[in-house]
Structure 1
Amino acid sequence: MAKVKVKQEEALSVKFSHQMGTGEQRVFDLFFFLPSEMWIDSKTLDEEEYYHSGIVGRRSYFSQALHLPLVQSRFASLNKRTLEEFRLYLNLFAYQFAVAIETDAKELRQQTDTGLFFTALDELSEQVSQLLKKFRRNEPSEEKWKSYFEHADNYLSWFCEQQLLKTVAHGPRSAEHNDVTEKVISLCRAENHYREEVKRYNSVRTQQDANRISNKMLLLRRLIQQGVVLKEELKPLGVGLKKLVTGLATGLVMLVVSALIFKAQGFFNGLTITLLFTLAVIYGFREIFKEDIREAMWRLIQRGRPRWSRILRDTSTQAVVAKQLVWLEFIRPQDIPEPVVDIMKQRHSQNKVETTTLHYRISTKVTNKPFEAGYSQIQEQVNFSLAPFARHLERGKAKIYRESDGKISNESVERRYQLNLVAVLRDGKEPAEYARFKITMNRSSIVEITESKLPDNINPFSVEPSESH
């Protein structure tokens, strides 16, 4: 089984996901080697701003049922449980059902072959239909349980309909496969009728207002995530140290300024225009260099230190499930670990260009205490947006000319850039394991993600790579 899964997520993002059990300790490093021609460094990309806007993570309890067939095979009767157990198992099933349909539909929308697309679409709609029927056969009869079931049923019906309609809308057109399209649309109509006419889950006013129905479904999703998605408490580190550095930098600047003022007063006799002008210049330089000195001192002191800490809690019991430390910074070539340097030496000579290195690290310590009933692992999914990188890229304007039978034609070509990414995984006290990827991208999308071969002396970890699209 792959320790880490790597996937292209949307046009300009890459997602990494991995699972951990109770008592595990794991350090996961990512080294992004960005070509200097992309003009990305600490001056053009603020690490803290990128962390909050470009890196999105989700941590939740995990089961192997990530795709619809697996969800269906692992589905168990929800009856004959306590109310709390019923709610936990219901939420786990509903949440994973939603993640499964979202995952499968997203992968299907990236399918460009018309025949394969409609075959997979037919299978997807059939799985959704059968799973919804099976889910509803387990509707509880007790009134105290019904509200939980109705919330999940309402959301799953609406979400499945939305995912299928979105897939049909963005998929290829083919008259040969109209029967599949009609089958999917019929299923969507049936689900809409079930919600609005049979069960009357949503008022007429809510049905007719896209904003109302969307916000209601977001609320239902949050209710479903209760007890499954872990609560995150993020705290920036080094706040007090940063204040101390600010004070120290200000003190050093004022020491120099005071010395210059005393020298100026000794050089000029009395209060003259020249003295006032000199003092103004000194204070002006103080304002110019104070921030630069503070920033330089802070980067020097902060280098290699974690930037944030995170506590993951069970939303039902508030018990601590795991603790994490997070690093994100541009690092110097001499700070890159030797095995990573050896991996990068394997590049083809034409690809050995000057690079800037962005380092991300997350260290996780999972509690030794057992999880809630039914849970054996937690899953972390981290999505890295490359959109901030793409802003600095040039648009392709070049043309390639060809001659055929005396006629000259031309074809526009896009400018592509290649990022190298080295991932490092360390479980407890075991030796570090490595993987290297090449990410080819242009200004608007990721063209492909490929895994590269490692040197013979480097220990690789198992990866489930992204499919090229």
Structure 2
Amino acid sequence: MSKIYVKQEESLSIKFTHQMKVGDQRRLDLYFFLPKEMGINSQSLDAEEYYFAAIAGRRSYYSSGLHLPLVQGRFISQNKRTVEEFRLYLNLFAYQFAVAIETDSKELAQVEDVEQFYTSLKELSDIVAQLLKKFRRNEPSDPKWKHYFENSDNYLSWFCEQRLLQLISHAPRSSDYNELTEEVLSLCRSERAYREAKNYNSAQTKDDPNRISNKMLLLRRLIQQGVVLKEELKTLGVGLKKLTTGVATGGVMLVVSALIIKAQGVFNGLTLSLVLTLAVIYGFREIFKEDIRNALWRVIQKGRPRWSRILRDTTTQAVIGRQLVWLDFIKSKDLPEQIEEILKRRHSQNKVDSEILHYGIYSRIAQKDFLAGYSTIQEQVNFSLVPFARYLERGRAKIYKESAGQVSYDSVERRYQVNLILMLREGRNPPQYARYKITMNRSTMVEVTESQLPDGMTLIGGEQDSED
């Protein structure tokens, strides 16, 4: 069974991740149920603007062997590999290594419990040290291969150091963990000394934050070469929208022309009354032309995808997959019956009127094999909730209490609960579902929790689930 992971990415964003193999056909629908009290709807939030400003995705080759470096398992006989193959496998490991550290560090940054934070920090630093050590055991001696290795090694060393330092700078303060903090800082110092011993960066670059940052961005792009798929996004329905505009304008002009002819029959000659009547007719044309066009376009666009995306291998330029993307506010009557059934099982206090934002993506992966050694594509899509948060109330309420004749109060924040329901359809298999509750306020996302499904519904990536 396929598994789709949904988790909090940063303070106000969530991410879903899943993998697809050769020949897969998959439709994934996400329904965001936004309480009406949030003030978010099709009039206040433009779906197209939200798509380009707040939804970011990346599709790349993927291997589950991250903790066993690919350079170790796939280059036992390096002489049988070409330079390009070496670079591709090296990039795959380095890219996944960087993404894994980035993801783990972002999750760790959200941990507020002191003990859990430092325990996880210790585990993360140990994994970093272990993977870097294994990675460097496979440093090639051939100069034509060594250059690519040094680029990856330089970036991974710097990136891991930066992530660990960032975590320490925002860590909960506790003197009980000074020794652990010193261990992590020692790892960071050793990585900095390692890069200096290897002469990876010039003195001018090391001393200038802008130069070192830009250089590492360049190395990151080089690492992504051949791993991250090239995307070609196309807006659908452009010609159809022009045709709709033409039909709407033609229909309005037909009515206007009929009214003008009628007015000329009523008024003899060019009189002031005729001029005023024509002015009123043209005025109503301008008022209703846009409304008629928009109404007609909504009817035609309903249920149709907004964008198409072609995924290409950056090395061979071969088409790896195609996708269709939907994003729009929909009405409750347009929901699938199974989604409505899931909503009915909510607790009574959570049954509030909601605006429904629907995001859908249909993926069709090519039947032909990927590059040698690749068998899976991973897609990660981030949804920023910042555009949602700006509509929320900023103020805080107060809860009063009395104790021994003294009245005190606690400040409480206004929280909102967004329901997120996923529906996955793979080929001709029955749909699978998952439901999440996103609790947020204006400044942050409090928590993301997965809820149980009604009896008889299959959980995404699991067996049939039941409700308490």
Task: Give 1:292's aligned residue.
Answer: 291
Report the CA distance between 1:95 and its aligned residue. 0.6
Would you say the 8 A contact 1:4–1:463 is kept in 2? no
User: For 2:428, what is the secondary structure of its paired residue?
Assistant: coil
Aligned-partner residue type, residue 390 of structure 2: R
Does residue 442 in structure 1 map to residue 441 in structure 2? yes
Does residue 412 in structure 1 map to residue 416 in structure 2? no
Would you say the 8 A contact 1:75–1:93 is kept in 2? no
Report the CA distance between 1:30 and its aligned residue. 0.9
Report the CA distance between 1:427 and its aligned residue. 1.0
Report the CA distance between 1:408 and its aligned residue. 0.6
Report the CA distance between 1:403 and its aligned residue. 0.7
CA distance in 2, matches of 1:147, 1:272: 86
CA distance in 1, matches of 2:304, 2:70: 45
User: For 1:365, what is the secondary structure of its paired residue?
Assistant: strand
Would you say the 8 A contact 2:71–2:135 is kept in 1? no
Matches within 5 A, 1:112-191: 112-191=112-191
Would you say the 8 A contact 1:8–1:15 is kept in 2? yes
Task: Give 1:340's aligned residue.
Answer: 339
Report the CA distance between 1:77 and its aligned residue. 6.0
Report the CA distance between 1:209 and its aligned residue. 2.4
Does residue 251 in structure 1 map to residue 272 in structure 2? no
User: For 2:270, what is the secondary structure of its paired residue?
Assistant: coil
Report the CA distance between 1:297 and its aligned residue. 0.7
Report the CA distance between 1:463 and its aligned residue. 6.8
Task: Give 2:466's aligned residue.
Answer: none
Matches within 5 A, 1:97-112: 97-112=97-112
Structure 1 portions without partners, runs of 5+: 465-469
- Describe the superposition over 1:71-117 as per-residue Cα deviations: whole angstroms up to 9, x where unpaired: 45995364443212211111011111111211222222222222232
Range 25-34 or range 450-459, more displaced:
450-459
Matches within 5 A, 1:43-442: 43-65=43-65, 70-71=67-68, 75-76=72-73, 78=75, 79-80=78-79, 81-195=81-195, 197-442=196-441
Would you say the 8 A contact 2:60–2:228 is kept in 1? yes
Structure 2 portions without partners, runs of 5+: 464-468
Task: Give 2:14's aligned residue.
Answer: 14
Would you say the 8 A contact 1:108–1:117 is kept in 2? yes
User: For 1:455, what is the secondary structure of its paired residue?
Assistant: coil
CA distance in 1, matches of 2:164, 2:82: 34
Would you say the 8 A contact 1:257–1:282 is kept in 2? yes
User: For 1:9, what is the secondary structure of its paired residue?
Assistant: strand
Report the CA distance between 1:433 and its aligned residue. 1.0
User: For 1:111, what is the secondary structure of its paired residue?
Assistant: coil
- Describe the superposition over 1:43-63 as per-residue Cα deviations: whole angstroms up to 9, x where unpaired: 111111111111111111111
Identical positions, percent: 67
CA distance in 1, matches of 2:124, 2:452: 35
CA distance in 2, matches of 1:159, 1:453: 38
Report the CA distance between 1:155 and its aligned residue. 0.8
Range 57-66 or range 257-266, more displaced:
257-266
Runs of 4+ in 1 over 4 A off after TM superposition: 71-75
- Describe the superposition over 1:195-220 as per-residue Cα deviations: whole angstroms up to 9, x where unpaired: 2x322222333223222221221111
Report the CA distance between 1:279 and its aligned residue. 3.0
Change in Cα spacing, 1:208 to 1:371, as seen in structure 2 (3 Å) is same
Report the CA distance between 1:386 and its aligned residue. 1.5
Aligned residues: 460
User: For 1:398, what is the secondary structure of its paired residue?
Assistant: strand
Would you say the 8 A contact 2:8–2:107 is kept in 1? no
Does residue 459 in structure 1 map to residue 423 in structure 2? no
CA distance in 2, matches of 1:47, 1:168: 38
Task: Give 1:467's aligned residue.
Answer: none
User: For 1:33, what is the secondary structure of its paired residue?
Assistant: strand
Change in Cα spacing, 1:420 to 1:174, as seen in structure 2 (3 Å) is same
Report the CA distance between 1:22 and its aligned residue. 0.9
